């Protein structure tokens, strides 16, 4: 489930398209309309007054995509009072190469599905950028309602990247090894400007997912989800039990006074088992 800031409220969308809105003023939770085409592979964004959800159709690549926005108003052709409703949007027309022309120098994670979304973010408070290894970066302009191609190369991130206005940079996790990193997407060809390497996970611990949440004033909350397996004798692999846990870390990003280079201070980390 994706949780996002929505004006002064919090909105959440799960993999089946069910949507909840938490009103911070009244402390009430409201069930919002469900997306038109539920799908297990969705990406959600909040831009301006709308929630945007991209869902990818299952099956062999290249895939069809369903793109829609949750907006407030009166649906076209209806007379009932204004309310929240889903509106279908223009679908992206990714310029995928023929199978034989897919880049050959792919990292292990990219080679699994070069047609899938490798990274995504919001740019300039009005554009949604979607990136695939095989087709490059595409932008949806929420004002004009049109798609355009930004670059033939993919974004240097894996998954969601977040803009941090205090530094004028986007922060996320590197496409190759999921290390915390930063990039200036305003450059003609976005590349990583800084990568902060984390120690390798403990033995039998595998990193499952990484998330980042800007907290303001150059501070970030970094969440990493792990799976730990314990050795046993009931399974041919020798591992029988899996434990899942998350580690939340506070990270402060600043520029060094003498060089102006980006540096970080890691504050408290806390582990949660589930």
Q: What is the DSSP string of 125-149?
A: TTEEEEEETTTEEEEEETTTTEEEE
Q: How many CA atoms lie within 13 A of 194 on its CB side?
A: 15
Give Cα separations from 203 to 32, 150, 207, 222, 228 (angstroms).
Answer: 43, 41, 11, 21, 8
Mean pLDDT of 156-164: 94
The model's confidence at residue 16, banded by pLDDT at 50, 70 and 90, is confident
Judge whether residue 51 has pLDDT over 70.
yes
In this prediction the pTM is: 0.84
Least confident stretch, 62-71, 117-126, 213-222:
62-71
* pLDDT at site 111: 46
In terms of pLDDT, which residue wins out, 48 or 52? Answer: 52
Mean pLDDT of 153-174: 94
The model's confidence at residue 123, banded by pLDDT at 50, 70 and 90, is very high
* pLDDT at site 137: 92
Judge whether residue 24 has pLDDT over 90.
yes
Judge whether residue 252 has pLDDT over 50.
yes
Judge whether residue 166 has pLDDT over 80.
yes
* Sequence-separated contacts (24+) of 215-221 with Cβ below 8 Å: 215/250, 216/166, 217/166, 218/164, 218/166, 218/167, 218/252, 218/253, 218/254, 219/250, 219/251, 219/252, 219/253, 220/164, 220/171, 220/250, 220/251, 220/252, 220/253, 221/248, 221/249, 221/250, 221/251
Judge whether residue 210 has pLDDT over 60.
yes
Domain limits of the chain? 1-91
Task: Give the helix, strand, coil percentages of the chain, each rounded to 5.
Answer: 5, 55, 45
What does pLDDT average to over the chain?
Answer: 85
Mean pLDDT of 187-199: 88
Judge whether residue 59 has pLDDT over 90.
no
Residues of the chain with pLDDT > 90, as a percent, come to 49
Burial 180-217 (b: 16+ CB within 10 A, else e): bbbbebeeeebebbbebebeeeeeeeebeebbbebeee
What one-character DSSP code corresponds to residue 198?
A: P
Q: Where are the alpha helices (DSSP H) in the chain?
A: 108-112
The model's confidence at residue 99, banded by pLDDT at 50, 70 and 90, is low
* pLDDT at site 240: 64
* pLDDT at site 10: 92
Judge whether residue 50 has pLDDT over 80.
yes
In terms of pLDDT, which residue wins out, 208 or 257? Answer: 208
Judge whether residue 17 has pLDDT over 70.
yes
Q: Is it true that the peptide bond before 254 is cis, omega within 30 degrees of 0?
A: no
């Amino acid at each position: 489930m994706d949780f996002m800031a929505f004006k002064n409220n919090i909105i959440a969308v799960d993999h089946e398209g069910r949507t909840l809105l938490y009103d911070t003023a009244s402390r009430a939770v409201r069930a919002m309309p469900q997306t038109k085409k539920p799908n297990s592979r969705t990406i959600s964004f909040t831009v301006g007054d709308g929630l945007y959800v991209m869902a990818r159709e299952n099956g062999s690549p290249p895939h069809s995509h369903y793109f829609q926005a949750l907006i407030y108003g009166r649906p076209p052709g209806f007379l009932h009072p204004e309310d929240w409703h889903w509106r279908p949007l223009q679908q992206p027309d990714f310029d995928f190469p023929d199978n034989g022309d897919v880049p050959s120098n792919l990292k292990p994670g990219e080679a699994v599905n070069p047609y899938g979304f490798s990274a995504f973010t919001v740019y300039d408070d009005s554009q949604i950028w979607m990136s695939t290894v095989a087709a490059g970066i595409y932008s949806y302009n929420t004002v004009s309602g049109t798609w355009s191609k930004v670059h033939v190369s993919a974004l240097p991130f894996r998954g969601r990247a977040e803009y941090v206005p205090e530094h004028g940079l986007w922060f996320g996790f590197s496409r190759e090894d999921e290390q915390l990193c930063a990039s200036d997407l305003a450059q003609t060809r976005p590349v990583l400007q800084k990568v902060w390497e984390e120690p390798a996970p403990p033995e039998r611990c595998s990193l499952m997912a990484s998330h980042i949440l800007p907290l303001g004033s150059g501070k970030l909350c970094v969440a990493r989800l792990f799976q730990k397996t314990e050795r046993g004798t009931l399974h041919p692999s020798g591992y029988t039990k899996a434990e899942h846990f998350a580690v939340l870390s506070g990270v402060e990003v600043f520029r060094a006074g003498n060089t102006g280079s980006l540096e970080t201070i890691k504050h408290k980390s806390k582990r949660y088992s589930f």
